[in-house]
Amino acid sequence: MDALALEAKNTNGGEAEKKSAPRPRPKPPKKAKRIVYFEVEILDSKTKEKLLLLDKVSIIKPLLILSDPKWYPARQSLRLDPKAKCLRDEEVLQTLPVGTTASFYFSDLGAQVTWGTVFLTECAGPLLIYLMFYFRLPFIYAPKYDFTSSKHWVVHLACMCHSFHYIKRILETLFVHRISHGTMPLRNIFKNCGYYWCFAAWMAYYINHPLYTTPYYGEQQVKAALYLFLFCQVGNFSIHVALRNLKTPGSKVRKIPYPTKNPFTWIFALVSCPNYTYELGSWIGFTVMTQCLPVAFFTAVAFVQMTVWARGKHRSYLKEFRDYPTLRSSILPFIL
C-alpha cells in the first residue's frame, strides 16, 4: 500500500513539475532581407547624352525597349565605363562598385542572330559545297569530267570523313550544345560563313580534281591518318557531352570540368580546352590523309584561331576559380 502511494505521489509530482515548467518562447519571425534600390542613369556610350533616368532599380538591365522598341534586350549593352566589358544580364546592382546613384553607358549591339543559327549555317555550307565538288557538278572542272567519279579511293574516303565531321557538328548543335550566350551580331554570320565556306571550296577543288595525286606513302599513310581522324572525332564528341553535363538547362553557372569515367575526357587533367585539342588532331589526320596543301593551310589557320579561343577561356578559368588546377595548359599539354 505504501509503495503504491509513493508511486502515485511521484507520478503526480512529475506531472506538476511538467505543468509548472515554462514553455519555450516561440522564435521571432525572420526579418525579410532589405532590398536596396538604386537610381540609375543611362548614358549614350558615344555622345554621353542622357537617355533614361530610372528610380527604384535592383537589376542591371532596365528594359530600354519601353523607350524604343528597336532596342530589344539582346541588342542592349550596358557598361560601367564606355571602354569596359559589357555587364551580364544576371548581375545585381548591389554587387557592383556603384553608389545608390549609378551611371551606365549604353550602346546598341546591332541586329542579333542566335548562336544556333550561326553554327548550323556555317556547318551546312561546307557540307554542301564539298559535295558539289565531289560529284563534279558542271562548270567546276572540264565538261568531260561533269558528274564523273574519281578513280582514287582516298578521294571517296576523304569525302566521307569531311561529311561525317560536319554532320556531327550539326547534330551536336541541335542535340548536345548548351549555349550560354543566346545571340551574336548578325554581321558575324557573314564572317564565319565566309571563313568556313571558302576554305571548304578551296580544299574540295583540289582533293576532287581530276589530276589529284594520292599520298606519297599510299595505303599505310591513309589508314594511319584515318585512325587519328576517327579517334579525335570521338574524343571531341566526348568532351562536348562532358561539358554539356556540367550545365543544367537554362543555367549560366560555370563549373570546372574534370575527367570522367570516359577515357577520352582524361585529357582534362592536362588541358583546359580538349575539344580544341581533338579538333586540331582531326584536321591533322585529314591533312595527312589527303596530302593536300589547302587542307594543311586551313589546319594551320584553325590552330591559330583555336589557340586564341583556348587561351582566353583558360585565363577566364584561372580568374574565376581560385582552386583551378595549375597543371593544365590551354590547348597542348605542357606546351601551349
pLDDT at 306 over 90: yes
Could you tell me if 270 and 298 lie in one domain? yes
Amino acid, res. 335: I
> pLDDT for 72-81, tens place per residue?
677 777 787 7
- Asked whether 271 and 281 are in contact (CB, 8 A), the reply is no
Cross-strand bridge partners of residue 102: 40
pLDDT band, very low/low/confident/very high, at 65 (cuts 50, 70, 90): very low
Q: Do the Cβ atoms of 102 and 138 come closer than 8 Å?
A: no
From 91, 110, 129, the end of a domain falls on 110
**For residue 141, is pLDDT > 80?**
yes
CATH of the domain at 78: 3.10.20.90
pTM of the predicted model as reported, rounded to 2 decimal places: 0.79
Split at pLDDT 50, 70, 90, the class of 332 is very high
pLDDT band at 66 (very low <50, low <70, confident <90, very high): very low
DSSP string, 209-261: -TT----TTHHHHHHHHHHHHHHHHHHHHHHHHHHHHHS-TT----------S
pLDDT, residue 1, reads 45
Question: Is pLDDT at 14 greater than 60 in this prediction?
Answer: no
Of the two residues 98 and 155, the one the predictor is more confident about is 155
Residues 289 and 310 in one domain: yes
- pLDDT tens digits, residue range 33-63? 566 667 777 787 887 787 777 776 666 554 4
> What is the edge-to-edge ordering of all strands in the sheet holding 38-44?
50-57, 38-44, 101-108, 76-79
- 99 and 191 belong to one structural domain: no
Tell me, what's the pLDDT at 43? 80
Residues 223, 254: one domain? yes
Query: Residue 79 pairs with which residues in a beta bridge?
Result: 105
Are 254 and 234 in contact by the 8 Å Cβ rule? The answer is: no
Q: Are strands 50-57 and 38-44 parallel, antiparallel or unpaired?
A: antiparallel
Q: Give the CA-trace dihedral at 316, 85, 185, 165, to 10 degrees.
A: -10
Query: Is position 32 within any domain?
Result: no
Same domain for 149 and 228, yes or no, is: no
Number of Cβ within 10 Å of residue 44's Cβ equals 14
Confidence of residue 20 (pLDDT cuts 50, 70, 90): low
- In a domain, residue 31? The reply is no
Residue 214 confidence (pLDDT) above 60: yes
pLDDT level of residue 228 (50, 70, 90 thresholds):
very high
**C-alpha cell, 279:** 579538333
Residue 261 within a domain: yes
Can you name the residues that pair with 39 across neighbouring β-strands? 101
pLDDT of residue 293 exceeding 90: yes
Per residue in 261-273, pLDDT (tens digit) is 999 999 999 999 9
Q: Give the pLDDT score at 122.
A: 92
What is the C-alpha to C-alpha distance for residues 286 and 204, in angstroms, rounded to an integer? 12
Comparing CA positions, the residue from 145, 161, 177, 108 lying closest to residue 289 is: 161
- Tell me 322's DSSP state: T
Flag whether 3 is in a domain: no
Residue 300 corresponds to which cell in the numbers above?
Answer: 594551320
pLDDT band at 220, cuts 50/70/90?
Answer: very high
19 in a structural domain = no
Handedness of CA 278, 282, 285, 287 (dihedral sign): negative
Q: Is 39 exposed, middle or buried (0-12, 13-18, 19+ CB in 10 A)?
A: middle
The reply to whether 326 falls in a domain is: yes
Q: Are residues 266 and 325 in the same domain?
A: yes
Residues 95, 102: contact at Cβ < 8 Å? no
Task: Over range 82-96, report the average pLDDT.
Answer: 70
Whether residue 221 is contained in a domain is answered as: yes
Domain that holds residue 306: 215-336
Same domain for 331 and 265, yes or no, is yes
pLDDT class of 7 with cuts at 50, 70, 90: very low
What's the pLDDT at 8? Answer: 46
CB 125 within 8 A of CB 203: no
- Please give the tally of structural domains in the chain: 3
